[in-house]
A and B are shown apart, each in its own frame.
Chain A
Amino acid sequence: MNTSTIPPSAASVDEKDQNKGSVTKPGWFLVSPSVLLLLVWMIVPLGMTIYFSLIRYNLLNPGENEFVGLENFEFFVTDAGFLPGAMNTLLLVGSVLAISVILGVLISALLEASEFLGRGIVRVLLISPFFIMPTVSALIWKNLIFHPVSGILASVWKLFGAQPIDWLANYPMLSIIIIVSWQWLPFAILILMTAMQSLDQEQKEAARLDGAGPIAIFWHLTLPHLARPIAVVVMIETIFLLSVFAEIFTTTNGGPGFASTNLAYLIYNQALLQFDVGMASAGGLIAVVIANIAAIILIRMIGKNLTDKS
């Protein structure tokens, strides 16, 4: 608390030396609480997960905790839910990323393309879903939009003389992708629109005077400018999409069968419904490994971008 004080008299002369001497001290003293807490938060639970994953541990049969090696992993990977769970996780992450990045770029470009009445309001409307809590958006979609009797889509279908669809029962994964995209597309719009506003207008004007059409400007000027913001959107969304949980929990419960189960839901199912701590931990570690592969790739890609500014 009291380091880094420089006596006022001596300050001007050896200020530089003094600074150099005291630079690291207050620095590490003040950073350490954050680092320490995060380190504990990461290592203790992860260590426990690794330990649990190697023993037999079911809350329903306490006391039988012998070492079983990789048996839990074997059981988890050969579980009927594992393959669909892994596929659904990838499908969910991949399609929501594609939808939010592509539509996000197009919609923000559309908004930036011209001045029109109420652009501020349009902007606010577009980003709103991002602030709705996941359980609310899941239930609103389930009961007010997708519902086969009174949902809004059912009446639209009827309007055209078609038989209404029971979305969550017949297309569970598609429905969940729609709900999750509805939440994350606004995030992409928010980030990309802000990034576009920082694009140098003079550069754009110069290109226009040189005879570049709007599409050429978009392709050669706007898109390259958006590389970093898009990378940011991909990274942040991947973090959250890999562990989508509430949306599945409140709508389909992973069903029918394993049709809309992702790894997060599968592990929850294993852990808190079947009380198999060992197997759930093995599953958790597999999820961690998958997330880390994604993280390493992404941090390599944009880690430099994130800190190279100032």
Chain B
Amino acid sequence: MMTLKQSRRLQSVLLGGLSWLIAAVIFFPIFWMVLTSFKTEIDAFATPPQFIFTPTLENYLHIQERSDYFHFAWNSILISFSATILCLLIAVPAAYSMAFFETKRTKSTLLWMLSTKMLPPVGVLMPIYLLAKTFGLLDSRIALIVIYTLINLPIVVWMIYTYFKDIPGEILEASRLDGATTRQEIFRVLIPICKGGLASTALLSLILCWNEAFWSLNLTSSNAAPLTALIASYSSPEGLFWAKLSAVSTLACAPILIFGWISQKQLVRGLSFGAVK
């Protein structure tokens, strides 16, 4: 009896240790980035790499004057939030009617929406670029907002659809019997019930917009460029700016990383199109 218990415990310690080791290896680049952001440029380039050093906030203090960080951060915020709100406004009614008024075509419509995600962006790069150029929307926030809304729409519709599907139809029928209009039904009944689901959908959309790097690199240069473009601009001058690069990167990733940690469980549903809960 004792030996069995002991071997169980030993097994658990070994497996736990292995898990910690793997996690440490996978997380290391992020840890290293944050650590480097508190070094001086000389420490950042030192060999062998320094784990113990005098931390400095210098990099963070100089980010703004070196690269106009807030301009890019503001673009990221503005674009991500606008696209997310727009996307939710279009997706909620669609998900509502597909979840509660299912017809023969609902499933194929949903799958078709999913299939638009299969269109690789390079396939339509030229037309979108030229359209943006023709309408004077190159390097404008509007172009990115519209594109982000459209590329995230299928995922957002799917995610809200699966949340709505979980609501028993009787609740809606009851409200309908009380004479609620469609609009009232959505705003007074559905949205309050699905607050959590809608919030995590919005979070997912924000994360995807914030990190999108194909259209932002190809359609913006300076005016409307979000953080992804700012970071990419650090790739060309092969100078000794790694501490500053790390500081900018840490600032750019921190909010999204925290969002991700908070909502990891709910995100699974959206990212798997409702197939995994």
Where the two chains meet, the residues of A that have a C-beta atom closer than 8 Å to any C-beta of B are 1-8, 11-12, 15, 23-24, 26-31, 33-35, 37-38, 41-42, 44-46, 48-49, 52, 107, 110-111, 113-119, 121-145, 149-150, 152, 154-155, 158-159, 182, 185-187, 190-191, 194-195, 198, 228-229, 232-233, 236, 239, 242-243, 245-246, 249-251, 263-264, 267-268, 271-272, 277, 280-281, 283-285, 287-288, 291-292, 294-295, 299, 302-303, 305-307, 309-310
Which B residues are in CB contact (< 8 Å) with A48?
124, 126-127, 130-131
Contact among B49, B120, B272 for A242, CB-based, below 8 A? B120
Which residues 142-199 of B have a CB within 8 angstroms of A? 150, 153-154, 157, 165, 176-179, 181-183
Which A residues are in CB contact (< 8 Å) with B33?
136, 140, 144
Contact among A2, A116, A143, A152 for B182, CB-based, below 8 A? A2
Q: Bound complex: CA of A125 vs CA of B229, how far in Å?
A: 26
Q: Once the chains bind, are A8 and B275 in contact (CB under 8 Å)?
A: no
Q: Once the chains bind, are B30 and A307 in contact (CB under 8 Å)?
A: no
Q: Once the chains bind, are B257 and A277 in contact (CB under 8 Å)?
A: no
CB distance from A151 to the nearest CB of B (A): 8
Which A residues are in CB contact (< 8 Å) with B30?
128-129, 132, 140
From known contacts A140-B33, A150-B46, A307-B111, infer whether A271 and B93 are also in contact, taking CB-CB under 8 Å. no
Q: Which A residue's beta carbon lies closest to that of B157?
A: A34
Q: Which B residue's beta carbon lies closest to that of A23?
A: B101
Q: Does B137 contact A (CB under 8 A)?
A: no
From known contacts A49-B127, A283-B122, infer whether A38 and B154 are also in contact, taking CB-CB under 8 Å. yes
Which A residues are in CB contact (< 8 Å) with B165?
310
Q: Bound complex: CA of A52 vs CA of B257, how far in Å?
A: 41
Mostly, the B contact residues are: helix
Q: Once the chains bind, are B211 and A229 in contact (CB under 8 Å)?
A: no
Q: Once the chains bind, are B276 and A229 in contact (CB under 8 Å)?
A: yes
